[in-house]
Structure 1
Amino acid sequence: MPLTLYLVRHGRTRHNEAGLLQGWCDSPLTDDGVAGVAATGRHLRAVPFTAAYASPSPRAVTTAARLLEHHPLIELATNPGLREFSFGDFEARPEIELYAAVDPLEMFRDVFRGTFAGLPGGEPGGVYLDRVSSAFAAIEAAHAGGGPVLVVSHGVTLLAYLATIGVPTVRPLANASVTTVDIHPGGRRIVTSLGVAPAAPVATPG
């Protein structure tokens, strides 16, 4: 039986709605964000999860807790390696300020290659990619016997993980969307769905 990772991006937040960069900073889910997570919860309620992990950021923990209302026997574990990319001095500032300073497509491609030097006050791409890879490696090792596992994280971090398994993409994942990855014995990984959004929320960074 393969290990199936259900990768869910957190629900839409106030910073998402305002177009503010949100990496290590945080903001609450909006009403639409809560509704989007509820739709995703209904979409996943029949999945027999064996474990659940989340970034320790409150927006991810809140999202995971709401999803797990349908799975009361599953205890949530947090892993700091699942945190979002740090935007450094650009945290909580308008996205357009960053995009005026750098080409976002080039920046994120370099982040996903581990070659990005980092934004002022932020973390280098290599350090970021290492922590993301380590977090997912630990999850895979803990569940080598297979089964469905929930992982709630962030837009850039989930794309970074996909890049590490050979699925490079810079297409934003919608809030509360679901991506599934089957991991077979021997390490073969297959992305079986990408960015499925039951409530069709809007995709923005962070």
Structure 2
Amino acid sequence: MTLTLTLVRHGQTHFNARSILQGSSNSPLTRTGRAGVRTTARHLAASDFTAAYASPSGRAVTTAVEILHHHPDLRLQVDTDLRELDFGRFERRPERELEAVEPWSRLVPAVLAGHHPGLPDGESGAAFMSRVSGVFERIAAAHPQGEVLVVGHGLALAAYLWTISPGPLAVLPNASVSTVRVTDGVPEVVEAGLDVAGHGGLAARSTLPTAPTLPTTPTTTPTAPVSAPLPA
């Protein structure tokens, strides 16, 4: 049996545009973000989705609802484990403040490896990776075949892709589309970060030179971009 997971990052928000951290916090979509989501929604209009999930964050729900305008028979299921990494005291603060304390290129590998203790009042790497892996395992178990839409966040979605194909973290621009094929329980990254809306580097970081290696060997080694996504 084969399941296709269509992963969509939410549209550009006001915090994205201003380089402000938003993990557990939320910010509404910009005009550019709404236009980008509509473009992605049209791109996915012909998809034969059998289920749809989203993070509870307003930016993710807004994005999912726009996509589901083309799929009116589907009911959106909200799962709290699809939420973004909680940046603790750095939430709603300029990215440069976190960068000055802990560079993104050092933070992300530690989070992915599950070693990061968490920023002050934030979420640990182990807790984050456990829930990200767990939610996709649950979705795959509930839908062994078909095509499932999942709308989430830059780091959370990229972390899931990384668990399948360890290495440099995929760039996921706002409103981008990634595809994972799960055949008899074995996931494979088919495409990562298709920039349907054309946001490109405006919506994704480009400063992650390396990422930790998982102790197990992946079953597939698909090509993936070589940078990290902008958080949330």
TM-score by length of structure 2 reads 0.85
CA contact (8 A) 2:7 2:150 kept: yes
What is the match of residue 4 of structure 2?
A: 4
Structure 1 residue 114: deviation in Å? 1.1
Do structure 1's residue 159 and structure 2's residue 158 form an aligned pair? Answer: yes
**Aligned partners of 2:53, 2:112: CA distance in 1, in Å?**
22
What is the match of residue 190 of structure 1?
A: 188
Q: Which has the higher contact order (CA 8 A, sep 6+)?
A: 1
Q: State the Cα deviation string for residues 31-67 of structure 1 (Å, max 9, x = none).
A: 0000000010011000000000000001000000000
Number of aligned residue pairs: 204
The runs of at least 4 consecutive aligned structure 1 residues that moved more than 4 Å come to none
Instruction: Give the letter for the 1:166 counterpart.
Output: S
Between the aligned residues of both structures, percent identity stands at: 50
What is the match of residue 83 of structure 1?
A: 83
What is the match of residue 62 of structure 1?
A: 62
CA contact (8 A) 2:161 2:170 kept: no
Secondary structure at the aligned position of 1:151 is classed as: strand
What is the match of residue 178 of structure 1?
A: 177
What is the match of residue 139 of structure 1?
A: 139
Structure 1 residue 171: deviation in Å? 4.0
Secondary structure at the aligned position of 1:150 is classed as: strand
Structure 1 residue 74: deviation in Å? 0.6
**Aligned partners of 1:171, 1:72: CA distance in 2, in Å?**
31
Structure 1 residue 103: deviation in Å? 2.1
What is the match of residue 50 of structure 1?
A: 50
Instruction: Give the letter for the 1:157 counterpart.
Output: A
Secondary structure at the aligned position of 1:149 is classed as: strand
CA contact (8 A) 2:162 2:169 kept: no
For structure 2, the residue ranges without an aligned partner over 5 or more in a row are: 204-229
For structure 1, the residue ranges without an aligned partner over 5 or more in a row are: none
CA contact (8 A) 1:162 1:168 kept: no
**Aligned partners of 1:70, 1:168: CA distance in 2, in Å?**
35
CA contact (8 A) 1:159 1:169 kept: no
Instruction: Give the letter for the 1:154 counterpart.
Output: H
Higher helix share: 1
CA contact (8 A) 2:39 2:197 kept: yes
